Structure 1
Amino acid sequence: MKHPHFAGLLAAGLLMTLSSVSASATDISIQQDVNGQALRIVASKDQYAGAIYSVTYRGTEYIDHYDHGRELQSASSFDGLGECFNPTEAGSSKDGTGSSSTSILISAYASGNTLQTTNNMAFWIYPGSNYVNSCGQMWYVSPLSGHIFSKTVTIGYQGIPNLIRYSASFTPAENHNSATFEAATGYMPPSFSQFLAYNPKTRHLSVLSDGPGEQATPVILATTNGLNAMGVISPGLPQASYPNLGYGRFRFPSTTKWNCVYRATNILAGDTYTYNCFIAIGTVDEVMAAENRLVQSTSQPSPLFRFYNGKDHLLTAIYTEGASAGYQFEGTTMHVYPNAIDSGMEPIYRCREGNHDHFLSTRQDCEGQRYEGQYGFISSHSRPGYSALYRLYNSSVGDHMSTTNPDEGTNHGYRVEGILGYVN
């Protein structure tokens, strides 16, 4: 969590308006009609290295971007060091209110309702600094962490127009015992002073104390009249190992903040850790309705259909993809969830080796082969009603297949490579 600077900000109780954000030629933005009004998200390529500094809806600005520690952005910390080892998307504390960022933007793309960026995150505390929060002098020598951060932000999800999907991927540069991933955080104008906790599973809304800190229930920050609100929810929170953590709220003299936080252990350099946070926007009632619909949609798995054309087994969520390409339909192999229903879920990816060999992997890098997308999530451990999902390979034809019945492969020259996870 960043400690904000306070000079020069709006007085508490004032809403920021569209006119308070000056567009730059290096901005990238996406916009979508939501209930008859434009919802616009803007990221800065130069000033904030791809971080989002503006979210506007119905004439109201939802994001405070006074310095490089605020914005709608992501960060990480390791081994309990907090800000003392804190790669940050938007830049370093030394960047202050300046027009450039120590973080280095690698790529940025915006089209339709989707925005994607990748950057090399700067350490929040600049090397050589003597930080006030008992870090001592920073021991790292480069202002760049070497930690690569990528995000995909999409307006609208599963037919819910006022829901923003924020998918954050962190690739650390070195091994660590533990990590805290602030998958998403939003700094908001001080007029968003009403802190609420909402559990869409029980439909229970309650006043949330100032904290500060995390708790287990999704948070909503709203204006006192309830007409402007932003809430965050993630199907993977709270994590089983951290049942009382996940959603934070903080109040400062000149800004308020929410965050969506994941934790992991045994961090390996080069591995990628991906988390999805969903941000709902509108009135308090509209935010609650969006979160209700999300919970309903994430509880329903979707089928994957298996096709075969004599040399390639293809799994797809779209029947016509296989049928129109000349493949023969073999049946429904498994079901996947669009989001993690709990912390025991893992992503499953579609990959391709060479020109035709489609296969499944739990690794986003597709084990060095071509990445074709993410199907969804499967269980990482056995559960009642779930079956093991095996991956097999036939070297004579160069074809992978995935099945819950390995005998159908081993009886035809395929060998088992391992269990990918568990499916229903």
Structure 2
Amino acid sequence: MSFATLGLSEEIVRAVTERGYTVPTPIQSQAIPAILSGGDLLAGAQTGTGKTAGFVLPILHLLTTNAAKGPSEGRPPIQALILIPTRELAAQVEESVREYGKYLKLNSMVMIGGVNINPQISRLRSRVDILVATPGRLLDHVQQKTLDLSHIKILVLDEADRMLDMGFIRDIKKVLALLPKHRQNLLFSATFSDEIKALADGLLNKPAMIEVAKRNATADKISHKVYPVDRDKKRPLLAHLIKENNWHQVLVFTRTKHGANQLAEYLTKNGINSLAIHGNKSQSARTRALAEFKDGSLQVLVATDIAARGIDIADLPHVVNYELPNVPEDYVHRIGRTGRAGQTGEAVSLVCVDEIKLQSDIERLLKRELPEEVVPGFEPDRNAKPEPIQNGRSGLPGRGQPRGRSSSKPASQGQARSNTGPAKAGGGGFGSAKPAATRRPAGRGR
């Protein structure tokens, strides 16, 4: 099967071919015909399966085939709205729209927070056919009356499960109320939780359903490795692994912003070019770090979970869990940055005694044991006592400071306005730690 056989225009197939893609992935081969038929779609696909092209390509085709004519006195209206949970992912999706549509007479725009709103207002005065936006900044424009959504033909909710996890449900409902009733709705999610099913029931009209990967499955070509280590030896072990194995383009996850900063500084001082990326960083700093990481000039990017679904880098070879996530599903999202679209990748986790329960929760979710390897010189103390990971978060371990809460969730715009939503039960704690469900408050002010 080729992209041409899916019914896409010659111009779109040409752009896809120039990016080096010739054979559609499973999600693309199923989603593209379904979307071209004009009906609603509920699609489940793990990260790295090519789902962005799965909805971008048919949207480009539909809007070109059914080109809208604007009112005689003004410009054509916005026809497609793609809602994305994080700024980085929104920027990358809009980049894909431009690249796949470069031979078409369609214009796109990305609308995110963390940057000056005035250039966006100016951009809206010219033609925009496809708008890629995060919910908070979109509603900022609605409030300032700079945005008209009354002619939207196609709505995409991408990473819908992440949207709900970040507390965007109120914002989504506000946006839906501004859209015309008759439109095509496309909902993409890595998992089909009860909340996602409820959202789909209220949004979609007799949708086609596609699920190309088992729920919470990891890519087949990702190899997993756990390195047991004492909490105060994690940083030197990570530096050792990077140098000894000559790793380049290493994405490292920490639980906290403070921990990300400290780890990046440590690695840099030890001759490993590193930068941290998280919600407290300015948008320009985040964009610059991602650009350097993508082009290979930055060896290590240390991130909180803001990057778990927002980084799309071809052939990213290594993802390291410096600290295991409190929620097992987040392990899947983190390591999904490697092993994308059929490529191989390596997922490494540094696990101390505090995290043994978290490792067990992840293995239970994956229905497999993660292979372990002890590095000579970094053998863990088997008599070490676990310390609680309070609130499901910890700072850099082994420093003797209190382990206070520091958010690792994205400080994406619109979050402050979305301080509601159920707490998500985590993987449990150790020692005197309370169960995760009681440790994380329901209010989300992250």
**Could you tell me the TM-score, scaled by structure 1's length?**
0.31
Instruction: Give 1 or 2: higher helix fraction.
Output: 2
